[in-house]
Amino acid sequence: MRKAEVLQLLRGGEYVSGEMLGKELGISRVAVCKIIASLKKEGFLIDAVPNRGYCLLRQELSQEQILSLLPESGWSVQVLPEVDSTNNALKRSCDAPHGTVLLTGRQTGGRGRLGRQFASPPGGVYLSALLRPNVFADQLLHLTPMAAVAVRRAIFDCCRISACIKWTNDLVCEGKKLCGILTELSTEAGSGALQSVIIGIGINCNTALAELPQEVQGMATSLQEITGKAVDPNELAAALIVRLQEMDALLLTQKEAWMREYASACITLGKRIQVIAGETRTEAFAEGIDENGGLIVRYDTGKTAAISTGEVSVRGMYGYY
């Protein structure tokens, strides 16, 4: 119990003296020392400097630390030091139950939408969550947009940053990409019943932007760059899991409210865009978000349509001017 309180006081990134910790918690400095020693044993990296105190150092993802920040739930959380892709790894463990979460700080074969690679250098938080909602696939068209709202809420909880959403699944800050989401569904061939859903989330947390491929460096940002300080990946991971659990609980009942939140954060709306289909790019205006998170566009011919898949370029973003 006291351990969680000490961790809470040390999470600010500043040195806190043993005396101050003792005062805050109403315990002796010797008791503080014992708690610090026990936290170190659990793997927390705590620097101790005479006359300055203690500081929680930049953290790696750790299952213990994430669990220490989470309320009790039936979900399972696993952290791997490295994996090809957390989405792939969850697909391989085909019997994994609803609420299985896999995290890593480095992917060697990260995957993005439309068959693209997703560069995943160290410093990022790469998370996949497996859900087994008891519905048909066509009842979950709003899943990816709802996940984008959940991630946006988690980033705010953790860093007080209000990210925008670039339709459909990028979180952006100051016009630069902070996070991508890849949702994959598996259905039963005969009935169309949903077997599982994997929501994969990749966030540039403390990513050194120079480690991203050159062609995306100018279009990407990280939480560390935006806040000006290192962000605890375990706090971010815990916030993501809490918000995904909230999304899971409200998946079928709160769609409208979440789509309204999606629309209010969607930077694509009110802009000139290009709808990209294969080699063809069609100029249009982004007018709204429909009830499933589809993008309502008005083509220059005057015709309107709702697009639910594919890609759009937004004028003024990612090098499209």
Residues in contact with ligand BTN by CB under 6 A are 85-87, 107, 110-113, 116, 118, 126, 128, 180-182, 200-202
Between 67 and 219, CB nearer to ligand BTN: 219
Between 21 and 239, CB nearer to ligand BTN: 239
Residues 298, 305: Cα–Cα separation, whole Å: 7
β-pairing, 280-289 vs 272-277, is: antiparallel
Q: Please report how close the Cβ of residue 117 comes to ligand BTN at its closest, in angstroms.
A: 9
Q: Please report how close the Cβ of residue 180 comes to ligand BTN at its closest, in angstroms.
A: 2
Q: Please report how close the Cβ of residue 225 comes to ligand BTN at its closest, in angstroms.
A: 18
Token pair 């949903």: residue:
194
Structure letter (DSSP) for residue 193: B
Between 56 and 171, CB nearer to ligand BTN: 171
Q: Which H helix or E strand runs over 311? A: strand 311-314
Bond preceding residue 268 cis, omega within 30 of 0? no
Q: Please report how close the Cβ of residue 98 comes to ligand BTN at its closest, in angstroms.
A: 18
Integer angstrom CA distances of residue 71 from 9, 211, 271: 19, 34, 41
Between 118 and 258, CB nearer to ligand BTN: 118
Q: Please report how close the Cβ of residue 271 comes to ligand BTN at its closest, in angstroms.
A: 19
Q: Which H helix or E strand runs over 176? A: strand 176-187
Between 171 and 275, CB nearer to ligand BTN: 171
Residues 54, 46: Cα–Cα separation, whole Å: 6
Q: Please report how close the Cβ of residue 221 comes to ligand BTN at its closest, in angstroms.
A: 14
The residue nearest ligand BTN at its CB is 180
Q: Please report how close the Cβ of residue 135 comes to ligand BTN at its closest, in angstroms.
A: 22
Residues 104, 315: Cα–Cα separation, whole Å: 34
Between 56 and 241, CB nearer to ligand BTN: 241
β-pairing, 100-104 vs 76-80, is: parallel
Token pair 């399972």: residue:
76
Structure letter (DSSP) for residue 136: B
Between 7 and 196, CB nearer to ligand BTN: 196
